[in-house]
């Protein structure tokens, strides 16, 4: 085995088949971590010379583990090496073939932080308790490298197993009654329909997504100027991404419609038996009928009656909106790793011993200002 690196986007793209073969063998179920999606992420969000991907290769040329890293500015000042992810597109994760000698493989991969494009290894939004990330932490520990792990949030997963009616009985009585009333009214209305689609012709994806983006623009995000269509380049980017996912059979689009006009929309990813509702939005005009709950209900029930998936991963932080569906929680967190360089060690010390206190002070001060302004 040996550690290899892809020093730029061109070298990375040339290894697409090997990368995707590792993704297939790994436990990662997010299709956005496949090579073509990462390559497009680099074109959209990363600057030339700010990317490196590291991998462990066996004697037959197969990849056994891999980590895609891109430099970004922390606080607009110092560069850190993070995963190829951001709030628009979580396209980075640690890939690991867990059928191998994972300790030996990760012992080779972990020191890549010393060659990473940044002063610190800064891995946000990682599933810190999964075997691959626990193994990575253990490898850092064996290598004598300093690192810090902090929980960021809980994410919920609904196991899509067993009987639909039995699953519904796990909800609270009040929630079951509220959702039940809304579903009955929706289904009794001849003008309203639920539509979900998993397979697409090449020409279908763009117009369907544009319909969905229009729905999102009619929610609070449109008024705030943060919707997809009001964010330069984002609509075209997500359409390209979705067209690639559709070509792999890993795109799911769902709509609630009234007389053919959509008023709720979900852009989802479905791979390896896991469905991720990546983007969800609804038209504020229909708020009284609970369109977000309705759409999620219809999607979950659809998958309970379909053998395509065994779990629905809500992806984002667990909130009251998703907690009502009785998901099983798992932790997302941040892993910060100190490399050998003096700047990295200095930043790591500041992060570990000063950052938390500063954030607490800042948040407390913001609350005080907010409370004062409301008086």
Q: How far apart are CA 278 and CA 257, in angstroms?
A: 19
The neighbour count for residue 196, using CB atoms within 10 Å, is 16
Strand 192-197, strand 251-258: pairing: antiparallel
pLDDT of amino acid 355? 63
pLDDT in tens, the chain (375 residues): 999 999 999 999 999 999 999 999 999 999 999 999 999 999 999 888 899 999 999 999 999 999 999 999 887 778 899 999 998 999 999 999 999 999 999 999 999 999 988 889 999 999 999 999 999 999 999 999 999 999 999 999 999 998 999 999 999 999 999 999 999 999 999 999 999 999 999 899 999 999 999 999 999 899 899 999 999 999 999 999 999 999 999 999 999 999 999 999 999 999 999 999 999 999 999 999 999 999 999 999 999 998 889 999 998 899 988 999 999 999 999 999 998 776 777 778 888 877 655 455 344 443 333 222 222
Tell me what pLDDT residue 182 has. Answer: 96
DSSP notation for 230-298:
TSTTHHHHHHHHHHHHHHTT-EEEEEEEETTEEEEEEEEEEETTEEEEEEEEE-GGGGGG-HHHHHHHH
**Res 170: pLDDT:** 96
Distance, in Å, from the CA atom of 268 to the CA atom of 90, rounded to the nearest integer, reads: 13
User: What secondary structure does DSSP assign to 18-36, as a single string?
Assistant: HHHHHHHHSS---GGGSHH
- Tell me the domains of the chain and their CATH numbers: 2-154+331-373 (3.40.630.30), 161-309 (3.40.630.30)
Cα–Cα distance between 359 and 105 in angstroms, integer? 36
The model's pTM: 0.90
Burial class (CB in 10 A: 0-12, 13-18, 19+), 257: middle
């Amino acid at each position: 085995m040996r550690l290899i690196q892809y020093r730029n986007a061109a070298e990375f793209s040339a290894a697409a088949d090997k990368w995707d073969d590792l993704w297939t063998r790994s436990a990662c179920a997010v299709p956005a971590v496949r090579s073509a999606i990462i390559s497009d992420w680099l074109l959209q969000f990363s600057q030339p010379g700010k990317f490196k991907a590291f991998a462990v290769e066996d004697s037959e040329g197969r990849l056994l583990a891999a980590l895609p890293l891109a430099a970004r500015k922390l606080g607009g000042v110092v560069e850190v090496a993070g995963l190829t992810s951001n709030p628009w597109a979580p396209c980075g994760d640690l890939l690991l073939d867990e059928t191998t000698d994972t300790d030996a493989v990760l012992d080779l991969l972990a020191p890549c932080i010393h060659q990473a494009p940044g002063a610190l290894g800064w891995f946000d939004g990682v599933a810190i308790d999964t075997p691959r990330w626990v193994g990575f932490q253990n490898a850092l520990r064996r290598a004598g490298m300093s690192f810090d792990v902090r929980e960021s949030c809980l994410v919920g997963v609904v196991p899509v197993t067993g009987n639909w009616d039995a699953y519904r009985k796990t909800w609270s009585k009040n929630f079951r009654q509220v959702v039940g009333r809304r579903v009955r009214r929706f289904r009794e209305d001849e003008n309203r329909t639920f539509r979900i689609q998993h397979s697409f012709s090449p020409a279908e994806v763009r117009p369907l997504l544009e319909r969905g983006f229009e729905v999102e623009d009619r929610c609070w995000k449109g008024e705030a100027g943060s919707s997809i269509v009001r964010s330069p380049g984002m609509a075209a980017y997500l359409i390209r991404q979705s067209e690639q996912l559709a070509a792999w059979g890993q795109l799911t689009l769902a709509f609630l419609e009234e007389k053919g006009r959509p008023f709720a929309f979900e852009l989802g990813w479905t791979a390896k038996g896991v469905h991720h509702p990546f983007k969800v939005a609804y038209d504020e005009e229909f708020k009284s009928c609970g369109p977000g709950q309705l759409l999620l209900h219809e999607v979950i029930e659809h998958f309970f009656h379909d053998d395509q998936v065994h779990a629905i991963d809500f992806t984002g932080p667990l909130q009251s909106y998703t907690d009502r569906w009785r998901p099983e929680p798992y932790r997302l967190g941040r892993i910060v790793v100190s490399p050998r360089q003096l700047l990295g060690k200095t930043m790591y010390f500041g992060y570990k011993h000063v950052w938390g206190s500063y954030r607490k002070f800042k948040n407390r001060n913001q609350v005080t200002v907010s409370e004062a302004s409301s008086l």
